[in-house]
Amino acid sequence: MSRIKFITLFTILLFLTNDILSQNIDLSKFSDLKYRNIGPYRGGRSLAVCGHSQQPNTFYFGAVGGGIWKTDNSGKSWKCISDTIFKSSSVGAITVAPSDPKIIYVGMGETAIRGNISFGDGIYKSINGGKKWIKLGLENTFAISDIAVHPQNADLVYVSAMGNIFKPNADRGIYKSKDGGKTWQKIFYISDSTGCISLVMDPNDPEILYAGMWQAYRTPWSMSSGGKQSGLYKSTDGGNTWKNISQNEGLPKGILGKICISVSPVSSDRIFAMIENKNGGLFRSDDAGETWIKITEEKAIKQRPWYFSRVFCHPKNKDIVYVLNVAYHKSIDGGKTFTTEWAQHADNHDMWINPENPEMMIIGNDGGGTVSLNGGLNWTEQDFPTGQFYHVAIDNDFPYKIYGAQQDNTSVAIKSRSFSWEISKSDWYICAWGESGYIAPHPFKPKVAYGGNYSGAIYRIDKDLGYTTSLNVYPEDGLGDGVENLKYRFQWTFPIIFSKFSTKEKTILYATSQYVHRSYDEGFHWETISPDLTRNDKSKQKVSGGPITKDNTGVETFNTIFTLAESHLQQGILWAGSDDGLVHLSKDDGKTWTDVSSTQIPENTQISIIEASHYDKQKAYLAANRFKLGDMTPYLFKTEDFGKTWIRIDKGLPKNAATRVIREDPSMKGLLFCGTEIGLYISFNDGASWQKFNQNLPITPIHDIAIHPEEHDLIIATHGRGFWVMDNISILYNFLNSNIQNTKTVFNCRHTFNAGGGSYFDENMQSGVNAPCGLIADYFLPDTTTKEIILKIKNSLGDSVASFSSKRDKNYLPVNINNDFYKPKTVKSQGILSNNKGFNRFVWDMKTADLIKIDGGANVLWGASLSGPMATPDIYTLEFYIENNLIDKDKCEIKPDPRFDKPSIENYKDKKKLLDSVITKVNKIHSTVNNIRNIKKQITNFNSGLPTGAVRDTIEKLGKTIADSLTKIENELVQTQAENIQDLLNFPMKLNNKIAALIDNIDAFKGQVPQQYFDAFADLAAQADVQLQKFDKISKTLIKQYNKKANEIDVDILKVK
């Protein structure tokens, strides 16, 4: 990037409304500084799906951390419809009112009680199919599992609340509204530790309701599914009273866990229930719940019951029933036997079947929503950007790649930009396999990456070889076992990082359990370089799960090192933070460690991220949270003395903004970014205060952040909406500069590369948004101005390359504005400088001025265009004008495309010289043809006005001679008969086309141009010169004679431009 300068456009009061020391910036002035979603377009988990029989092609699914998605074409494409007033992003339930397909109720918060769940904030409602939403309360229910709406009365609604799974919560239970959600009444409640996981309405009698009550909880080190208060309940009076039917004949004795119910629309007597119990499984009642039988011993339908267990009746056949699990299972004999079916992705959680046409259905699984129109024979792709990423890493390749592990999927490496117009599936690939861990790209091998997964797995993938190996610190898989029985305690997501002091000869790789491990040979040998840096509380290392089902995946592995950071400034300084609240420091490369924990951080707080400062080796930041203890309070700290003292720095963050990550900008001291459960925040004063910096980023948990040290891009890893990038945030650096004045404004640009591509955004696009391909110039205006803003670009020789204006197009012609219609406020004209108040971004696409067009047709070209070629690598001067006044200028570089061998400066000079010659020749041909056509028109017009007689006969004869001669020249230079591109297959290309076709081919070479292009141009130019010389001769002879004759009658009519 070029030097950042401050320039006075004119005396103004800028937007810095607060005292400069407080650094509270009016970020509304940065509204055009936006993120772009790059994907990947690969879905994440969905717990809620729905549709409506009256709109058979419309379906909805709710993503965890990703909002509500809608399709109107049976799943061919999807669009998020909740990026509006929503304040949370994880969807627990969706129901479309049976009596009105425009009325939608949505319940927020996850009820699949994983360790990485996100809480909700109650109920939302739309009365126009999701175009607009209103909030309906129940904010403290935290997680909503089901919504039941009366089939004839859309205002009569029931809601089941599971509650806060991490702590007692009195807002659990079942709620009822009689006025469409304006007011709510709690109609069933057991205790603050028991919520409702399943609520169904009898489809034939809306007064009859069934509820599965579930006593369950999580801590950071354990999970419990089931308790004495769990049970199956029934109401026959619209929820006014409830009867416990858990001990009815045929149901299992003992402690119950998760219970899910479905009532057959064909017969209200037939009910299915999946029940978690030591003798659990699928139960069926044929007398409306009075008696039950365990209908099958099929194990595949009841594995991991706390996570699955949903059951659904077929709307037309009472013997067809579906049970969702890793696969989904279908029975056609009333539940006695099942076939195993697959719907694009594993781990199925919800299902909706069209009651009028059961062949049409949607399933929500760990890949999102997927639609079938033929009863499950085929399912739609799950290509939407709802991935949940834990961490983000970047490499130093070009374009740089962004790495992360996607929950319920594999890890991925995705290009930050492409060389087409979007970031598509071809721009990303699977790397390192793991779904839960860190990804560490090899610092010197761009196709090699390391990735972690639960149970301490470390994978090394070589993309070129298509080869993956496992390089675990200790290859003991502890899946299913208690942590106390394992040698090493590896968390679900444990740090894996390459040292920034690695060399090609000696890489340094770190990983952590309760210890810090190091490898000097890319993972083939590991050494342990620390003692246990956790509290090592044996009471928190027991087998997880119970009292019914055990569940040991690594999520509950506790007393681990959760974050590791290495100094950016001095090798050997290491910081380690544990998931139980401790911070340790080594200043001697791991030989000794000092406990530098803060007494302000409560015990068992997860130290989520430690960020070592880029500017002071004694300084570090940390983000911590107590999310899994039911505490959403933000915890941010910094130290400037190697941890002797810690300062709390979370002023300005909301009380419910649990903090996941803090990062320091590597190019600007004092600029910090913080990712929380509810969005992104920025600090301009080293953490003294924070401001929301979501811009166009949707509400979603932010789990990690990276800032590219050279491109100055801000990269966001969300836990529900994939990766997002804000290109070139260097404009923000100015507002930390102590010299900034209220009467100054800012102008700066960023380098770019001589590489192709383009960028666009459409709210309906089904691929990632590409980076702006060109040279970025950012500027501020104190107010919207009517004065012309001009940007002139010159190369290092001082030659003008391109000019842009707020009132003229890229060819510097006046912009024609049609005042008969209102212009969309969101549409910006390409190549036109914005004159709007505040921050403005202009991207020069590096294209030089367009070539001259031919007036009146003959612009049909084969394999060529009249667009200017891309500017060659050079250092360019950007001159910024208001009207005719030069305000300031700055320099910015277009660098050679790093993908190619670096050519010599002479190569580029030769290429530019050839391109300039080709363009000059085409322009000369076209200007000559324009002159020819103008002259012939003048002859016709002049002759038509002459009186009859000898003079007219003489002039007309001479004029015809001139016109015929010029037409012959024109026909050699351009093809006049082609009106469409295919016409050129019949009418051959002429000289202008042949020469113009060289431009793009020459431009494509990144340096040296093959000699044959010089030779071909020389031959074609010589042929063109013959015709151009003929024109010059006619201009000097016949045209002069014509004008002489015209002068005899006092008219000089023919003029050469």
Who has greater pLDDT, 837 or 236? 236
Q: Does residue 7 register a pLDDT over 60? A: no
Query: Diameter of the chain by CA atoms?
Result: 123
Between CA 144 and CA 137 the distance in angstroms is: 12
Query: Would you say the C-alpha torsion 7, 12, 17, 21 has a positive or negative sign?
Result: positive
Tokens standing for residue 713: 């891009």
Provide the pLDDT for residue 811: 67
The residue with tokens 């949607």 is 362
Q: Taking Cα atoms as reference points, which of 793, 790, 762 lies closest to residue 775?
A: 793
Quote the strand ranges of 122-172, DSSP E: 123-126, 134-135, 144-149, 157-161
Provide the pLDDT for residue 127: 98
Provide the pLDDT for residue 166: 97
Cβ-proximal residues to 505 (8 Å cutoff; 6+ apart), any chain: none
Phi–psi pair at 30, nearest 5 degrees: -105, 25
Between CA 1046 and CA 32 the distance in angstroms is: 61
Task: Determine the distance from the C-alpha atom of residue 647 to the mean position of all C-alpha atoms in its chain, rounded to a whole number.
Answer: 33
C-alpha distances out from residue 507 to 122, 480, 500, 936, Å: 50, 34, 9, 75
Q: What is the mean pLDDT of residues 615-636?
A: 98
Return the amino acid letter for 557.
T
Provide the pLDDT for residue 18: 36
Q: Does residue 479 register a pLDDT over 70? A: yes
- The answer to which of 433-447, 564-578, 742-756, 964-978 has the lowest mean pLDDT is 742-756
> How many DSSP H helices and E strands does the chain contain?
5, 67
Q: Does residue 308 register a pLDDT over 50? A: yes
Provide the pLDDT for residue 516: 98
> What is the model's pTM?
0.93
Q: Does residue 21 register a pLDDT over 60? A: no
Query: Would you say the C-alpha torsion 650, 656, 662, 667 has a positive or negative sign?
Result: negative
Q: At what angle do helices 1038-1048 and 1011-1036 cross, to 10 degrees?
A: 30
Between CA 119 and CA 109 the distance in angstroms is: 4
Per-residue pLDDT tens digits for 151-162: 999 999 999 999
Q: Does residue 20 register a pLDDT over 60? A: no
Q: In percent, how much of the chain has pLDDT > 90?
A: 79
Query: Would you say the C-alpha torsion 426, 431, 437, 441 has a positive or negative sign?
Result: negative
Provide the pLDDT for residue 984: 83
Q: Does residue 708 register a pLDDT over 90? A: yes
Q: Does residue 952 register a pLDDT over 90? A: no
Q: Does residue 471 register a pLDDT over 60? A: yes
- How is 21-43 classified by DSSP, letter by letter? TT----GGGGTT--EEEEE----
Provide the pLDDT for residue 824: 52
Q: What is the mean pLDDT of residues 711-717?
A: 97
Between CA 505 and CA 529 the distance in angstroms is: 21
Q: Does residue 739 register a pLDDT over 50? A: no
Provide the pLDDT for residue 31: 85
Q: Does residue 511 register a pLDDT over 50? A: yes
Between CA 87 and CA 139 the distance in angstroms is: 10
Q: Does residue 16 register a pLDDT over 80? A: no
Parse the chain into domains and list their residue ranges: 39-372, 387-510+520-558, 775-1048
Second-level CATH architecture of 39-372:
7 Propeller (2.130)
- The answer to which of 130-134, 265-269, 570-574, 891-895 has the lowest mean pLDDT is 891-895
Residues 725 and 715: beta-carbon distance below 8 Å: yes
Cβ-proximal residues to 258 (8 Å cutoff; 6+ apart), any chain: 197, 212, 214, 216, 225, 226, 230, 274, 275, 276, 305, 306, 309
What are 967-971's contacts with CB under 8 Å, separation 24+? 967/932, 967/936, 969/928, 969/932, 969/1027, 969/1030, 969/1031, 969/1034, 970/929, 970/932, 970/933
Who has greater pLDDT, 928 or 813? 928
Tokens standing for residue 252: 């299992």
Q: What is the mean pLDDT of residues 589-617?
A: 98
Omega cis (within 30) before 355: no
Q: Taking Cα atoms as reference points, which of 218, 211, 169 lies closest to residue 194?
A: 169
User: What does the mean pLDDT of the chain come to?
Assistant: 92
Residues 547 and 227: beta-carbon distance below 8 Å: yes
N-to-C CA span, the chain: 44
Provide the pLDDT for residue 1053: 57
Per-residue pLDDT tens digits for 647-688: 999 999 999 999 999 999 999 999 999 999 999 999 999 999
Tokens standing for residue 635: 């915890």
Cβ-proximal residues to 843 (8 Å cutoff; 6+ apart), any chain: 759, 772, 773, 774, 775, 776, 777
Residues 725 and 713: beta-carbon distance below 8 Å: yes
- The answer to which of 377-386, 490-499, 771-780 has the lowest mean pLDDT is 771-780
Q: In percent, how much of the chain has pLDDT > 70?
A: 94
Tokens standing for residue 18: 């607060």
Per-residue pLDDT tens digits for 782-793: 788 889 999 999
Phi–psi pair at 750, nearest 5 degrees: -125, 145
* SS3 (DSSP) at 894: strand
Task: Determine the distance from the C-alpha atom of residue 379 to the mean position of all C-alpha atoms in its chain, rounded to a whole number.
Answer: 25
* SS3 (DSSP) at 326: coil
